[in-house]
A = this chain, B = another copy of it.
Amino acid sequence: MSILVVGSIALDTVETAFGKVEDSLGGSALYFSAAASYFCPVNIVGVVGSDFDSSKLSFLKKRGVNFDGMHVESGETFRWGGRYHKDVNKRDTLFTFLNVFEDFQPKIPSQYQKTEFVFLANIDPDLQLQVLDQISKPKLVVLDTMNLWINGKLSKLKEVIARSDILIVNDEETTELSGESNLVLAIEKIAAWGPKALVIKKGHHGALLYRDGAFFFAPAYPLKKVVDPTGAGDSFAGGFLGYLAQSDNLDNRSMRNAIIYGSTIASFVVEDFSFKRLVDLTQDQIDQRFTLFKDMVSF
């Protein structure tokens, strides 16, 4: 099974305690695709500017990511700049230049309109609705969002949530979205809006899955060195949905394994800047760390 992802393709300038990279590959759609590509083919719909060097994408193409849905518009590519604190869980955004992304109107190529697995990366809920209007009967729609849309476009966002199967948000967003400070009550409130499951990302505290009234908790992998946390959430989503699409099974066991595969891939991504750690990452290394995750929670 292949996945359709609609989201951003960006050039990131990132500074952490371990160094700095400028105009390196980034964006939710790319991080998602890189992670998901370990499990299944991925089709991207997104936009870049005429300044974008497509040769940078060759490692993703080799791994089965298809860029036929990536449009090149005249103008500059979306750029984001951020600086992480010594405590890497905190960061300051230094700049956000939407550039060609500002007028992005996702057009889903006809060959993708019957995709069964869809990831709506963090973009304007109006655009996410446009995507859903162009695809027919997907088996699974997974949705990401952020506080910008929670605060600015809540009613549209709730429409998208109602039309999605799984919502992926972090713990702060869960509170903001629901208005509930207790996480369990917050989750139950959002679940009542429609999605069959919620995945709550808790950064270095791990992730949890809520489904059919039951919880599953996954720790974060304990890393001695987090070089660049950018893309952790999107690569988590990529590993999660990638595994589900590969297994083509949405039972409890698959969902739980998917959470661990998402956590595993995210833990590799943050070990280096941008996509550097993924260039040589093998399936064997992923499976080995998956096994370590199992040991970390066994009792």
Contact = CB atoms under 8 A, between A and B. Distances in A.
Contact of A294 (B184, B225, B260, B299): B299
Interface residues on A, range: 35 or more
- Residue picked from A87, A217, A223, A256, most chain B C-beta under 10 Å: A217
Nearest to A225: B182
Interface stretch (A22-30, A151-159, A204-212): A204-212
A224 interface: yes
A297 B205 contact: no
Contacts of A224: 182, 184-185, 188
A198 to B, nearest CB: 12
A219 B222 CA distance: 15
A257 interface: yes
A161 interface: no
B183 A204 contact: yes
A296 B215 contact: yes
A182 to B, nearest CB: 6
Report how many copies the assembly holds. 2
Contact of A299 (B208, B214, B253): B253
Given A205-B205, A217-B219, A222-B215, A181 B87 contact: yes
Interface of A: 86-88, 181-185, 188, 202, 204-206, 208, 214-219, 222-226, 253, 256-257, 259-260, 294-299
27 contacts: A88-B181, A182-B225, A182-B226, A183-B204, A183-B222, A184-B222, A184-B223, A202-B205, A205-B206, A206-B217, A206-B219, A208-B219, A208-B222, A214-B296, A215-B219, A215-B296, A216-B296, A216-B297, A216-B299, A217-B219, A218-B297, A218-B299, A256-B298, A256-B299, A257-B299, A294-B299, A297-B299
Given A182-B225, A184-B224, A217-B219, 16 more contacts: A87-B181, A182-B223, A183-B204, A188-B224, A208-B219, A208-B222, A215-B219, A215-B222, A216-B296, A216-B298, A217-B297, A218-B297, A218-B299, A253-B299, A294-B299, A297-B299
